[in-house]
Amino acid sequence: MGECAAQVFSNFTSDRFVRLTAKAAADGLSIEGPPGPSRTRVTVTWTYDAAAQTLTIQCIRRPFWPGCGLSIRASQNLIDSCP
């Protein structure tokens, strides 16, 4: 299926990105270093800009279900779990 809209998170410090990669790995999602793809049931790309403190995440490939809304909520929940 198609891709979802990119999500941009501001004020995303380097320390927070480290916590995010650890949490994602614990959840079975490999984020080995920016930028890059991660493949589970969906393909997600991310770009972390340490200087601008922004993290951009986009689901670029997914099965018919879950839809973009569910993928976006899952990304938001992951981000929220790493304050």
For the segment(s) 7-80, the CATH number from 3.10.110, 1.10.10, 3.30.310, 3.30.300 is 3.30.310
Positive or negative torsion for Cα 5, 11, 14, 19 = negative
For the chain, give every domain's residue range.
7-80
- Is this model's pTM higher than 0.85 or not? no
pLDDT tens, residue by residue, 73-82: 888 888 998 8
Is the pLDDT at 18 greater than 80? The verdict is yes
Q: Which residue has the higher pLDDT, 1 or 72?
A: 72
SS3 4: coil
pLDDT value, residue 14: 93
pLDDT value, residue 8: 95
How many angstroms separate the CA atoms of 45 and 34, rounded? 9
Q: Taking residues 40-67, what's their average pLDDT?
A: 80
Is the pLDDT at 16 greater than 80? The verdict is yes
Residues shown for the chain:
83
Provide the greatest CA pair distance for the chain.
36
